[in-house]
Amino acid sequence: MTRHAGVVGSPIAHSLSPVLHRAAYEALGLTGWSFHRDLVEAGDLAAYVMGLPEDWAGLAVTMPLKEEALALGDVVGEEAALVGGANTLTRHEGGWRADNTDVHGLETALRAAGAEEALGAGADPRPATVVGSGATARSALLALRGLGVREVGLLVRDRARPETLELAQRLGMVATTSQYADGPASWGGPGVVVSTVPGGATPPVDGWSLPEGAVVFDVVYAGWPTPWAADWRVSGVHVTRGDGMLLHQAVRQVRLMTGREAPVEAMSAALAAAVGPAE
């Protein structure tokens, strides 16, 4: 029987989910599976999902539809509930399950980038900083908590979103807030910095001193290097781009949708061919 899955959002033409999922289907020998990419505007997700035939197994959901996806889940995964948004919908007998695989993707990518070592071993890890305070920032909080972070700074242009501060408290993290206008001298020296904002919306880096071995991670992967990554490079700091997060969130999605273990190497090779080298 033919099975269908896809990715939805607006804009959607840039999405690399088809590259990742189709590579997985090929490596797994799932010849009866196809993966689609559809433009769905804000407010239209419920109608789109209601119109899907029974042979649709799941959806990857991008902005601005993640809160709508969460609302469609009659079963909701713990991480989706905590973040307040779902990037994955999978069909089950009673309806749709909503999950957030961004947390898994980011935590796995941060581990691969050396975040555990940068944070320091033992009972008193270094603090981390998250740039931004939206839904992706909440995913970052969960990922960092999984790495043992207890103190986190939210670096924002204006004010941190109350729901993000509330999540940090629920996770038992001590959260502080600083603004771009405060300047690097007030941003501290975290072991890990995760930017969750679009390219061009990042704070300046000149004068921001990080400890040796610090990990700087940017969830952006297109148009690399971003101006932010280039500025850090001038300061002698390497920035890890976000394709690792993209890969591993899709790995979890493939498992949820197909019930099979995802072929990580095949998916990674397909993604690398699509985005090109990081340097």
CA distance 75 to 97: 5
Q: What is the mean pLDDT of residues 44-49?
A: 98
Sequence-ordered strand ranges (E) for 32-127: 33-39, 56-61, 75-76, 88-92, 95-99
| Residue 208 CB neighbours (<10 A) | 23
Sheet with 151-156, side-by-side order of all strands: 174-179, 151-156, 128-131, 192-195, 215-218, 239-240
Q: Per residue in 44-57, is it b (16+ CB within 10 Å) or e — as a string? A: ebeebbeebeeebb
Q: What is the mean pLDDT of residues 212-219?
A: 95
- End-to-end Cα spacing for the chain: 43
CA distance 165 to 236: 32
CA distance 222 to 82: 28
Is the pLDDT score of 162 beyond 80? yes
pLDDT-derived band at 278 (thresholds 50, 70, 90) equals confident
Active-site position among 21, 66, 104, 248: 66
Residue type, 62: T
Phi, psi of 212 (to 5 degrees): -60, 135
Angle at 251 between CA 247 and CA 255, to 5 degrees: 165
| Residue-level pLDDT at 124 | 75
| Residue in 96, 265, 245, 20 with CA at minimum distance from that of residue 7 | 20
| Residue-level pLDDT at 222 | 85
Residue 83: its H or E element: helix 78-83
Sequence-ordered strand ranges (E) for the chain: 3-9, 33-39, 56-61, 75-76, 88-92, 95-99, 128-131, 151-156, 174-179, 192-195, 215-218, 239-240
66 has catalytic annotation: yes
Is the pLDDT score of 2 beyond 90? no
pTM of this prediction? 0.94
Is the pLDDT score of 223 beyond 90? no
Domains (ranges, CATH) in the chain?
3-100+250-275 (3.40.50.10860), 104-241 (3.40.50.720)
To the nearest 10°, report the CA torsion of 98, 102, 108, 109. 160
pLDDT-derived band at 279 (thresholds 50, 70, 90) equals low
CA distance 100 to 81: 8
- Kindly report the average pLDDT of the chain as a whole number: 94
CA distance 172 to 151: 9
CA 115 to chain centre: 16
| Residue-level pLDDT at 123 | 64
- All residues at 6 or more sequence positions from 222 whose CB lies less than 8 Å from its CB, including other chains: 14, 199, 275
Q: Give per-residue pLDDT as tens, 83-106.
A: 999 999 999 988 999 999 999 999
